[in-house]
Amino acid sequence: MARRHPDRPRPEQVPAPTGDDLAGYLRSQATEFLRALRSHRETGNGLGGAEGAVDAGRALRRSARRISAALHTFRALLDPAWADTMRPELAWVSGTLALEHAQEARLDRLLPALHRLSGSTPLAVRAVAHAGPPRTGAAAPGTERGSLTVGAAKAGALLERRLTLARSRAHSAALEALGSARFHAVADRVALLASDVPLAPAASGTALGPLAAAAEDRLAGAVATLPLVTAGAPYNAQALVHGLSPDPAPHPQDGPWHQVRLVLRLHRYAREIPGTAPTDPRLHPAAEALTRHRDAAEAAAEAAQAARTPRITPATAYALGVLHADQRHEVEAARFTFQQTWQHTP
Amino acid sequence: MARRHPDRPRPEQVPAPTGDDLAGYLRSQATEFLRALRSHRETGNGLGGAEGAVDAGRALRRSARRISAALHTFRALLDPAWADTMRPELAWVSGTLALEHAQEARLDRLLPALHRLSGSTPLAVRAVAHAGPPRTGAAAPGTERGSLTVGAAKAGALLERRLTLARSRAHSAALEALGSARFHAVADRVALLASDVPLAPAASGTALGPLAAAAEDRLAGAVATLPLVTAGAPYNAQALVHGLSPDPAPHPQDGPWHQVRLVLRLHRYAREIPGTAPTDPRLHPAAEALTRHRDAAEAAAEAAQAARTPRITPATAYALGVLHADQRHEVEAARFTFQQTWQHTP
């Protein structure tokens, strides 16, 4: 609360955060991880709407990402061998848990988009998409999606089948991972971290500032690689270039944006350690724009991939083509939003 | 030239244009029409690249549209029975002649768009689209469109077949129209107009100002019906709503924009009569944006229509879906440009 006070001291008057503050941050994130893990085990497997397990899974990913980010940004202040073996394990945990959520979010993005493109109400679809446990069989789109064309309805049913199946697989994989010896080893190491952070010698009193500043510099460097002048010109039609390319690796143009998203997250997490410089107000909206960019890019790829399903009708393929282009324009819109956010220097 | 002089008198010091100026304008447009008609007959049928005939056809349409617009805007100063029988005939002439040009322009818009979406060079396509007389048979897309996917190449070949056939039909219809008794009657009446304009009694000295101002008011009224706040928010995703609607009448949202395009043209032409108020500098870019809006909307409809061709492959349909959405985003971009242009009050 002190940081919100209007007469709060200027940054130079606050004691600069040190390795001790980093250790405190890591301990609290490790505690969060263990609490989320307990909660996840208590709420069951979480498939098909157990809200508690979904929240616990999100909290697990959240703390795993933060610990991993701190090990990366402040590696010089930590036992390097420990940090280097810990990070890939945490990335495996958060990556495995994120997959199920990603498949569900993709469906939640694509079905309403299909309805928007058909001029019908997206609320009705969300209800359909969320109703009960995942259905792996074909839906009966004619009745559920009243005002859709045959093509849009079939495209929706195809996407629902694909993504529900993918979500089920991701859920099984997550459950399997959480029961594995590998995960138990990670959990044991996080439990140790909650009480004892392996700082490097003399790191305890070393200032975090230079390492946090380096993370900020890496963000600035990554942003500098983005085509922001183009992105700031509305309707530049860049995101859909190569939309029909025969190149099997689609949209290499997205790479730098995905990279900025990751680097921005590292910077943002580094600023969460109490006592570090006040957070740049652009970070949160910029991060949101980049997440939307990533989600739309992946949704567009899913529509393109679904269109390669054998024996679909031309009407289904046409609807998937419209949907793909729609999501690529969402990609372009997200870049525009990022540019608009970023150009306001704080 | 006097109107460009920095010390030119203010509008109220210039003698206000009257029915006599209208008569002079109509005589000069009628003369233009007859000159273009002669030129068109001398340059032959103009199919497949006879530039002279294309230019003559454009000049014919140009003067027919202007005479028709003047008959509409300044009807109160003209023999009303004459104006009312003349206008539909001029609309028939310009409409019939415009069709061939429209089909060619549509192909010139869609093939480069397909190449842009495939990440290949649009210049190569333009060369293909313009090479020689129209081909009504299937093209060999594999060799001509090197880097296109199978779907994009097939979509391009399908569009080329459809639009080349439509252009040939429009060309035949135009030739037939130009040789018809109906057209000869129009030409005779325009020939009379070149020497004798049937003004209403006392119109000779009546000021044009109020009628020109009424045309401007009609433009303001039409613009007021447009959703300009939405159009001014980039990436509002409105143009593609109903893109997959089962409603057989596609995109009623385009109507008000098409209407503004027509009303803006009437206003612009009214200002061409020497001595009328200086032209609003927004008119030209605004008109260009609305023409782009119309062209993109029609190109999108053509892609959607082509996708209903029986027995096309899913890959072809997918490419046409992407193309449709791309052109609908062009529609949205044109609305944004119009809004940006229009908000700068002169």
3-class DSSP assignment, residue B207: strand
Q: Mind telling me how many Å the CA of A97 is from chain B's nearest CA?
A: 32
Model confidence at B343, pLDDT cuts 50, 70, 90, reads very high
Here the tokens at position A148 are 């859709």
Closest CA of chain A from B134, distance in Å: 26
Strand partners, A18: A207
A129, pLDDT greater than 50: no
Q: Which residues of B228-248 are buried (b: 16+ CB within 10 A; e: fewer)?
A: beebbebbbbbbbbbbbbbee
Q: Is the pLDDT score of A57 beyond 80?
A: yes
Measured between alpha carbons, how far is B159 from B153 in angstroms, rounded to an integer?
A: 10
Q: What pLDDT is stored for residue B15 in this prediction?
A: 77
Q: Which pair of structure tokens corresponds to residue A6?
A: 């209007």
Q: Is the dihedral of CA A261, A267, A271, A277 positive or negative?
A: negative
Which residue shows structure tokens 């199920």?
Answer: A100
What rounded mean pLDDT belongs to chain A? 87
Give yes or no for a contact between A289 and A331, defined as CB atoms under 8 angstroms apart: no
Residues of chain B with C-beta less than 8 angstroms from the C-beta of A114: 244
CB B67 within 8 A of CB B31: no
Cα Rg, chain A, nearest whole Å = 23
Task: For residue A145, give how far its alpha carbon lies from the nearest alpha carbon of chain B (Å).
Answer: 12
Distances (CA, A) of A129 to A36, A107, A160, B5, B21: 27, 8, 8, 68, 68
pLDDT, tens digit, 9 for 90 and up, residues B19-54: 999 999 999 999 999 999 999 888 865 554 567 888
Q: What is the mean pLDDT of residues A105-124?
A: 84
Contacts of B245 in chain A (CB under 8 A): 117-119, 147, 149
Give residue A8's pLDDT band: very low, low, confident or very high (50, 70, 90).
very low
In chain B, the percentage of residues whose pLDDT exceeds 90 is 74
Q: Testing the interface with B: which of A240, A293, A322 to mutate, by most B Cβ within 10 A?
A: A322
pLDDT(B139) > 90: no
Please determine, for residue A138, whether its predicted confidence score (pLDDT) is greater than 60.
no
The structure tokens 């009214």 sit at: B270
Q: Up-side HSE of residue B143: CA atoms within 13 Å toward CB?
A: 3
The more confidently predicted of residues B242 and A101 is A101
Verify whether the Cβ–Cβ distance A322 to B240 is below 8 Å: yes
Whether residue A146 lies within 8 A of chain B, CB to CB, comes out as no
Mean pLDDT of chain B: 87
- Please tell me which residue, A345 or A236, carries the higher pLDDT value: A236
Indicate the DSSP class of residue B277.
P
User: CA of B309: which chain A residue's CA is closest?
Assistant: A314
Number of other residues whose CB lies within 10 A of the CB of residue A16? 14
> What would you report as the CA-atom Rg of chain B, rounded to the nearest whole angstrom?
23
pLDDT digits (tens, 9 = 90+) for B49-104: 567 888 999 999 999 999 999 999 999 999 999 999 999 999 999 999 999 999 99
Query: B248 and chain A: CB distance < 8 Å anywhere?
Result: no
Percent residues over pLDDT 90 in chain A:
74
pLDDT band of residue B112 (cuts 50, 70, 90) is very high
The DSSP code for B10 is P
Question: Is residue B18 classed as helix, strand or coil in its secondary structure?
Answer: strand
Tokens standing for residue A296 = 């739309």
Give the Cα separation of A34 and A59 in Å (integer): 10
According to DSSP, the residues that pair with A199 across neighbouring strands are: A78
Torsion angle defined by CA atoms of residues B79, B80, B83 and B89, in that order, rounded to the nearest 10 degrees: -140
Give the residue from A245, A318, A336, A339 with the most B CB atoms within 10 Å of its CB, the best one to mutate.
A318
Cα–Cα distance, B191 to B193 (Å, whole number): 5
Burial class, A251, CB count within 10 angstroms (exposed 0-12 / middle 13-18 / buried 19+)? buried
Cα gap A173→A179, rounded to integer Å: 10
CB–CB of B84/B103 below 8 Å?
Answer: no
- The answer to whether residue A282 neighbours chain B at the CB level (below 8 Å) is no
**Measured distance CA(B70)–CA(B25) in Å, rounded:** 9
Min Cα separation A332/chain B (Å):
8
Angle between helices B283-306 and B314-342 (to 10 degrees): 170
Among residues A313, A290, A300, the alpha carbon closest in space to that of A245 is found at: A300
CB B211 within 8 A of CB B74: yes
**Contact between A181 and A15 (Cβ < 8 Å):** no
Does position A140 have pLDDT exceeding 70, yes or no?
no
Query: Mind telling me how many Å the CA of B124 is from chain A's nearest CA?
Result: 16
First to last CA, chain A: 22
Min Cα distance A336 → chain B (Å) is 9
**A-chain residues near B315 (CB < 8 A):** 307, 317
- DSSP code for B170: H
Q: Is B302 on the interface with A (CB under 8 A)?
A: no
With beta carbons under 8 A apart, name residues in chain B contacting A314. 307, 312-314, 316-317
In chain B, which residue ranges form alpha helices assigned H by DSSP?
A: 19-42, 51-73, 80-117, 122-130, 141-144, 150-178, 181-193, 209-224, 228-231, 255-270, 283-306, 314-342
Chain B: nearest CA to A304, how far in angstroms?
Answer: 9
Chain B residues with CB under 8 Å of A325 CB are 321-322, 324-326, 329
Mean pLDDT of B240-266: 86
Give the DSSP letter of residue A234: T
Contacts of A241 in chain B (CB under 8 A): 116-117, 119
Task: Tell me which residues of chain A, numbers 62 to 81, contact chain B at a CB-CB cutoff of 8 Å.
Answer: none
CA distance, residue A251 to nearest chain B CA (Å):
10
Query: In a mutagenesis test of the A interface, which of B117, B244, B335 is the best target, namely the one with the most A β-carbons within 10 Å?
Result: B244
> Is the pLDDT reported for residue B135 higher than 70?
no
**pTM of this prediction?**
0.87
Residue A271 dihedral angles phi and psi, to the nearest 5°: -80, -5
Predicted confidence (pLDDT) at residue B243 exceeds the cutoff of 90: no
Note whether B152 contacts A: Cβ–Cβ < 8 A: yes
Report yes or no: A104 at the B interface, CB cutoff 8 Å. no
A119 close to B (CB below 8 A): yes
Q: What is the ipTM of this complex?
A: 0.85
SS3 assignment, position A199: strand
The reply to whether B318 touches chain A by the CB within 8 Å rule is yes
Contact B244 A319 (CB under 8 A): yes
Contacts of B238 by beta carbon, 8 Å cutoff, 6+ apart = B227, B230, B231, B253, B332
Tell me: the pLDDT tens digits for B279-297?
789 999 999 999 999 999 9
Residues of A within 8 A of B154 (CB-CB) are: none
- Tens-digit pLDDT profile for residues A243-269: 787 665 567 899 999 999 999 999 999
- Say which residues have a Cβ less than 8 Å from residue B100's Cβ, sequence separation at least 6: B57, B167, B170, B171, B173, B174
A199, A79 in Cβ contact below 8 A? yes
Contact B149 A245 (CB under 8 A): yes
Mean pLDDT across the stretch B178-188?
97
